[in-house]
Amino acid sequence: MSTFYALLRNPQGALGLLIVTILLIVAIFGPVIAPNDPESFNFGSRFAAPSMEFPFGTDWYGRDLFSRILIGARSTVLLAILATVIGTGLGAIIGVLSGYLGGWADEVIMRLTDAIMAIPSLLFALMILAALGSSALNAVLAIGIAFAPGMARIARSVTLQVRALDYVAAAQARGEKLGWIVLAEILPNTIAPVIIEATIRVAFAIMTLATLSFLGLGAQPPSPEWGLMIAEARDHLFRSPWPVIAPGIAIALVAIGFNLLGDGLRDVLNPKTAD
Amino acid sequence: MTDTLTLNDYGLWYDTPSGPVRILDDISLRIAKGEVLGLVGESGSAKSSLANAIIRDLPGKVHAEQGTILLGDQDITAASGAILEKLRGQRIAMVFQNAATTLDPVQTVGNHLIETLERHTTAQGQAATARAVELIEMVGLPDPQAMLTRFPHEISGGEKQRVVLALAFACEPELILFDEPTSALDATTAATLLDLFRDLQARTGVSALFISHDLGTVSDIAHRVAVIYGGRIVEEGAVETVFSDPKHPYTQALMASLPRPSDGRTNRGLAGTAALPAPRRGEIPPCIFSASCPHHDAAICDAQQVRLTDSDDRRTACARVAKGQILHTPAAPNPAPSPRGDDALLQVESLTVSYGSQRLIDSLRNRISPHVRAVNNVSFKVRRGETLALVGESGCGKSSLARALSGLYAHDGVTRLGNEIIPSNSPAWRARVQTIFQNPDSSLNPRHSIGTILGRPLKLIRTDLAPQDRAAEVARLLTRVRLPADYAERYPHQLSGGEKQRVAIARALAARPDVIICDEITSGLDAAVQAAIARLLREIQAESGTALVFITHDLGMLRHIADRVAVMYLGEMVEMGEVASLDTAPWHPYTEALLSSSHSVDPDSETRRVRLTGSLPKRTEDLAGCPFASRCPRHVGAICDSQQPPRRHPAPDHEILCHIDASTLSAVPPIWRFSDQLETQQ
């Protein structure tokens, strides 16, 4: 709770928290707020500019962009968060284990993650999708796996500091099992930097998801997923910019919101700058 | 003549997210030319903040400042950055605790000195270099020319602190601020450094503020002393006056918790009631010490703000003392030693710990990789109800030995519990031998509640205990270490340093061990807390008959905690015997130097000083002779360097590893000259 209040006092953190809260409300209640059916065609008002009736304008079928964005928020934002959670969880456990075990195990795990990190994460996600087949959930899984090595590096470097502390020695001396030492003694103490990195990664996940959808490997039409919306609207860019601008701004807002939240958390969770 | 430094009613408040915090207030001090003022206080007394305030480098966000700080006639509280830049280094110098972090690792010793000289004095180029060589000679470092080109990592900790001292003296300042300059050094090194400072101070006539938590060091070096508690000076006067006859209840309590060399003879105990942290926020009581004061009398003490008042020989901030009343803090009784059994609970035979393994490349080149033998062929036993103290300076292998006995480090040699041979990394050993680590901040997991911390050993080792009984057992353990049972729901950061160490003790007790290894558990705690922890361990030992291995570098505590003592040097056990045998010769020459370099405030004894010169051999070298040969003041010749010394037995259960025979060692002059009254008692 004190973290929450400290976050509110931090200007970046407060703004980030505001944006992310609005976003989550939209993601949850989007379908209720949306004034129109996102998939109903209004051929009378194709390529309409923003107006009272269509706040963000309409696309080439005359579908209401405002409603599409509100409803698309759920799949876009929640899938991005899911991808980040998978990547963070996987990476943190690998990193902590590698850092704690040290020696040969550490060398092998870290060189493997280095090799994976050498492949751009989009390309790596594409490879995984090629193997798993294209669907929204597979895209999430692919991004999660692609994120894991980076998270593992961060978790490992924090673990190396924590491992030298006496409470780990005390646990070893009383004969604790590996599972308890890694999950209960070390992991909770490495969590702050990992959470901060995760919030920043959410923005990356949204952009990568959007890119995958853009390439036709994530969500499939007529789903109002934001990346897919941009990909489809590209053909009509010269008739009307609104079908590209509206989801584009939405993605940018999410990225900024999570980045700000991450920056705020970094200051708040760091005991040196917290006081 | 104006004083070098004058503080008038100085006060400092910092801004924090939860409101302003009082750091210092009502500070009035002066340091005359050529005078050394000692400033003593416990952790959190804001003694370092006072140094920060004087050098005008305040780390916090200042809420308010009041009063004046005068350097000579100049008020520096309002001085601009440019003026301060000229002052610092040139008129005020500062010596910090940790020389390792004070020196820039990528600059040579010479660069440090020359930069300071060129910036603040007229000496430039060749002249600055010449002066740098002179300064290095002045602080007693060998081969000054070569020293100029060395980097900080190439010289030892004591040498680094000498370089810092040379930097402080470089521009012949009027005032030097010392912030715990010897706390990070070994006793024998610290002693030589203090000698050096005393000598330089007498020669240059510099004034100094000497901040330390160690009253013994201050009594050795300062002319006057000020005692600080909760950001206020409570007593100030000449060192001899204040320390031999403290008037303020806080000073009295502080003195009563310090061990003295004469304790073995007077059977004096240590007072273990620590003062509460002073109030820092909100309404400040008229007397800052009133919450912890045993002599608090609302009618007198709360009548008006208590300030320092002059009496004939000192200034004291106590309303009752000001009224001419004489307050006494009763001496604490020494706890009765726990009964010692005859059966050895823990036996260690030729234990050796070494670091470094044979590398592949060295094997191919037919060479032996360098390795360090941290503990070399050590044997000892500890009986039921007995405390064996392992003492020695940093790098002597005592912590490696502790970790080997905790089953954390691999080692050679045999370990027995009772008469059974049990390897130290086996579950059977772990169930019966527990370890308490040095720093409770790092030995208690900050994310676990005290209940979880104490519950784990119950779950792992006390398998006879049903899961539903664990909470009750945790409460019982907390009560046993004198903590409230509801602490089980708290987290380590909500506890004070002493309370945390009690939790660590409770965790060790949870397993009902036969042997507890205490690895420097009292260092880093204030004297009163140390005394309380020592008393608690004694009580627990008397109840349970646990054998304790108590590792420490603090010789003063020995008489209050240990029955027997083993002195380690470079991984070897050079002396072992009863604690009482430390009071009189024979000693191993190293033990003698160690005992004589520990500072204490004791009106009943005077200490003879033995100083060690020479340097430690490389840890990777295999020594043919005695490990202490390179620094031994009683070196008898080539035999010391070439042959392993024999184990001599001047008395049964007393062992000395030395080439000098026992009768010669017995004939050395005593280290302490006790007051006549105590001498005749013997």
CATH number, domain with residue A195: 1.10.3720.10
ipTM reported for the complex, 2 dp: 0.79
Tokens of B517: 């290894």
Residue of A9, A104, A166 to mutate, interface with B, max B Cβ within 10 Å? A166
A19 occurs within a structural domain: yes
Note whether A221 contacts B: Cβ–Cβ < 8 A.
no
- Token pair, residue A132, equals 């798993």
Cβ–Cβ contact A267 with B under 8 A: no
Closest approach of A185 to chain B, Cα-based (Å): 7
Q: Does residue A73 lie within any of the structural domains?
A: yes
Phi first, then psi, for residue B159 (nearest 5°) are -65, -40
Chain A residue with minimum CA distance to B445: A167
The more confident residue out of B217 and A203 is B217
Tell the residue number behind the tokens 């601008």, with chain if given. A245
Min Cα distance B442 → chain A (Å) is 5
Which residue in B34, B39, B36, B50 sits closest to B2, CA to CA?
Answer: B34
Weakest-pLDDT range from A60-69, A145-154, B429-438: A60-69
Lowest-pLDDT choice from B235-249, B354-368, B469-483, B567-581: B354-368
pLDDT in tens, B546-559: 999 999 888 888 88
Q: Per-residue confidence at A274, pLDDT binned at 50, 70, 90?
A: very low
Domain range for A138 is: 9-24+54-274
Mean pLDDT over each residue of chain B, to the nearest integer: 87
Q: Provide the percentage of residues in chain B whose pLDDT is more than 90.
A: 28
C-alpha to C-alpha distance for A203 and B588, rounded to whole angstroms: 68
Which member of B408, B437, B445 has the closest CB to residue A185? B445
The residue among B445, B450, B460, B500 with the most chain A CBs within 10 A of its CB, best to mutate, is B445
Read off the pLDDT of residues B382-409 as tens digits, 9 standing for 90 and up: 999 999 999 988 878 888 899 999 988 8
Q: Provide, for chain A, the percentages of residues in helix, strand and coil under a 3-state DSSP scheme, each rounded to the nearest 5.
A: 80, 0, 20
DSSP string, B186-248: -HHHHHHHHHHHHHHHHHH--EEEEEES-HHHHHHH-SEEEEEETTEEEEEEEHHHHHHS--S
pLDDT score for B211: 93
Tell me what pLDDT residue B678 has. 67
- Is residue A137 included in any domain, yes or no? yes
Which tokens is B344 given?
A: 């050895």
Q: What is the pLDDT of residues B19-47, one digit of tens each?
A: 888 999 889 999 999 999 999 988 888 88
Name every residue in B having a CB less than 8 A away from some CB of A. 16-17, 403, 406-408, 427, 430-431, 434-435, 437-439, 442-448, 456-457, 460-461, 507, 511
- Residue A1 located in a structural domain: no
Question: What's residue B681's pLDDT?
Answer: 55
Overall average pLDDT of the A94-111 stretch = 90
CB pairs under 8 A between A and B: 54
Out of A166, A172, A188, closest to residue B447 by CB: A188
| pLDDT number for residue B599 | 78
Report yes or no: A177 at the B interface, CB cutoff 8 Å: no
Q: Collapse the DSSP code of A42 into the 3-class scheme (helix H, G, I; strand E, B; otherwise coil) and give the result.
A: coil
Using one digit for the tens of pLDDT, what is the confidence trace for A233-247? Answer: 888 888 888 888 888
Residue B313 CB neighbours (<10 A): 13
> Does the beta-carbon distance from B460 to A174 stay under 8 Å?
yes
Q: How far is A18 from chain B (nearest CA, A)?
A: 22
CA distance, residue B16 to nearest chain A CA (Å):
7
Tens digit of pLDDT for each residue in B144-192?
Answer: 888 889 898 888 888 888 999 999 998 889 999 999 888 878 888 888 8
Nearest CA in chain A to B431: A174
Say what the pLDDT of residue A175 is: 87
More reliable by pLDDT, B612 or A38: B612
Tell me the nearest-neighbour CA distance from A196 into chain B, angstroms.
18
Judged against a pLDDT cut of 50, whether residue A275 lies above it is answered with no
According to the model, what pLDDT value does residue B297 have? 85
Q: Does A9 touch chain B (CB under 8 A)?
A: yes
Q: Do A275 and B16 touch (CB under 8 A)?
A: yes
The yes-or-no verdict on residue A271 having pLDDT over 70 is no
- Domain annotation covers residue A218: yes
Q: How far apart are CA A97 and CA B96, in angstroms?
A: 39
Our count of domains for chain A comes to 1
User: What domains lie within chain B, and their CATH numbers?
Assistant: 5-91+173-322 (3.40.50.300), 344-445+488-583 (3.40.50.300)
Task: Tell whether the model's pLDDT for residue A272 goes beyond 70.
Answer: no
Q: Does A172 touch chain B (CB under 8 A)?
A: yes
A181 within a domain of the structure (yes/no): yes
How far apart CA A256 and CA A20 sit, in angstroms, is 9
| Cβ atoms within 10 Å of B642's Cβ, excluding its own | 12
In a domain, A46, yes or no: no
What six digits make up the tokens of B151? 């980097």
Task: Compute the distance between CA of residue B329 and CA of residue B163 in angstroms, rounded to an integer.
Answer: 43
